[in-house]
Amino acid sequence: MKYLLIVPDGMADHPLDQLGGRTPVEAALTPNLDAICMEGILGSAHTTCSSHAPGSDVATMCLLGYNPDEFYTGRAPIEAASMNIELGPLDTAVRCNLITADHEKLIDYSGGAIPTEDGHKLIRAVADELGTDELVFYPGISYRNILVRRGKGDLRVTANPPHDVMNRRLEDVFPTGEDAGMLRDLMRRSRDILEQHPINRNRVQAGKSPANMIWLWGNGLKPALPTFEDRFGRSGCVIAAVDLIKGLGQILGWDVPNVKGATGYFDTDYDAKADAGIEALKDHDFVFVHVEAPDEAGHEGNIEEKIKAIEAIDEKVIGPCVAALKQYPEYRVLVLPDHPTPIAIRTHVKEAVPFAMCGTGVRAGPPVSYSEANAKVAEVQFENGYELMGYFLDS
C-alpha cells in the first residue's frame, strides 16, 4: 500500500463576511480536494488537543500519530535536527533569535530580517565572547540560530517566543524560572557585543534595524520519539521547505530531500513539490507533502493570497500527486491542515480541522464537499487528533 499525506499548513479558517459567510477553503475552487471527500470520507480531527500551544510543530507531531503531551519537548531540538546538530541525552537546544531591542522594548523578533551572511558574523562574535565548551552557538538562516547547552539536562525556564512579545518591555517578558538567570545574563551580555558591531553600526546608519541582541527561547531536550517505521512499520519521506517540518522528519527517521524552489512562502514552486512527492512515492510507503503558504496568508490576514494558495495546492499538488498515487494497485490519501490559522485572528487556534481521506479499503461516507462546517457534523470525529494516523494507515 502507498500512503500520501498532504498538509496545507493553517488552511482551516472561520466564516468571513468578506466572503459572504464562507471560509477561504469554501470560497476557493478545490475540485481535487472535494473529489477525495466524495470518493471517501470527510471527518474532523482535533490536532491541537494537547496542553501545548498550537504551534505547527506540536500540531504536525499530533497529526503524524504522536501525542505531543507524551513526546513534545520544545521547538529548538526539532530545529536542531533540521540543522544536523547532534544532541546527546543531556544536551538542551535553545532557539537563539537575533532581535532588535531599543533601551526598553523588544522591537523586532527578526533583527530587521538580518541577512544570513551578516547573521553568521554576528553570532560568531557572540560565540567568541560567550561561547564555552558547555555553551555552543550554531548559526542558522537569517535571524534563526541555535544555542546548545551540553551535558547539563534541560533548563527549568519559561521563555517567551519573541514574535509574541513585540513592543513589550524587555523586563516584563524576559525568561522566568529557576534557570532563567543564566539566559537573561547571556541576553544582556550579547547586547554589549552586538550593539558595537560594525555590521549593526552600518545598519543603523543605513536606516535599518540593528540585530543588537540575542533572544533565547524554545528550549528542550532531544525528543525520544520512536521512528515512524518502528511505530507504524512504514518507510517515509517528507517534502517540505520549513525547518520545523524537515527537523521532525529527521527525528522520525525519514528521508528529507531538499526541493529546489520550495520556499515556504506564496512564491513556492508547487510543481516542484508535487514532482518530488511523486518521485518519493516510488521508493517509500508513506510520503508527506507539506505546503506552508496558506498559514503565511493567515498570519498576514490576506484573504486573497489564502484562497490563491489553497487553489494552487489543489490544482498543482493534490491533483497530480493523487493521479500518480492512483497508478499503484493499493493506495490511500489523506489531506488536512495541521491547525486553523484564521484570517480574522491572524494566528493559530486550538480547534479541530477537517480531514479528507480516500483510497483502498476506505468506505465512502455521505457525499459532501470539503468544508469546516461539513466536518463539524461529520460521522468520523477524532477528539484525540493523534489517533487519526493509525486509522489512516490500518483501517
Binding site for Zn ion (CB under 5 A): 9-10, 56, 295, 338
Angle, helices 198-205/116-130, rounded to nearest 10 degrees: 140
H or E element: which one contains 218? strand 213-221
- Minimum CB–partner distance for residue 324 and Zn ion (Å): 25
255, 277 in Cβ contact below 8 A? no
CA 81 – CA 256 distance, rounded (Å): 11
- Minimum CB–partner distance for residue 94 and Zn ion (Å): 22
For the record, the C-alpha cell of 381 comes out as 470525529
Cβ-closest residue to Zn ion? 56
| Of 295 and 305, CB closest to Zn ion | 295
| Of 295 and 311, CB closest to Zn ion | 295
- Minimum CB–partner distance for residue 292 and Zn ion (Å): 8
Residues 250, 274, 315, CA angle at the centre, nearest 5°? 135
| Of 12 and 170, CB closest to Zn ion | 12
E strands present in 55-161:
92-101, 106-108, 135-141, 144-149
CA 332 – CA 108 distance, rounded (Å): 44
- Minimum CB–partner distance for residue 167 and Zn ion (Å): 24
- Minimum CB–partner distance for residue 295 and Zn ion (Å): 5
CA 275 – CA 287 distance, rounded (Å): 12
- Minimum CB–partner distance for residue 263 and Zn ion (Å): 16
CA atoms within 13 A on the CB side of 69: 8
| Of 186 and 318, CB closest to Zn ion | 318
| Of 10 and 220, CB closest to Zn ion | 10
66 burial via Cβ count (<10 Å: 0-12, 13-18, 19+): buried
| Of 9 and 179, CB closest to Zn ion | 9
H or E element: which one contains 239? strand 236-239
Name residue 288's amino acid: F
For residue 33, give Cα distances in angstroms to 24, 117, 216, 381: 14, 41, 40, 19
350, 48 in Cβ contact below 8 A? yes
- Minimum CB–partner distance for residue 58 and Zn ion (Å): 9
| Of 62 and 322, CB closest to Zn ion | 62
| Of 11 and 125, CB closest to Zn ion | 11
- Minimum CB–partner distance for residue 10 and Zn ion (Å): 5
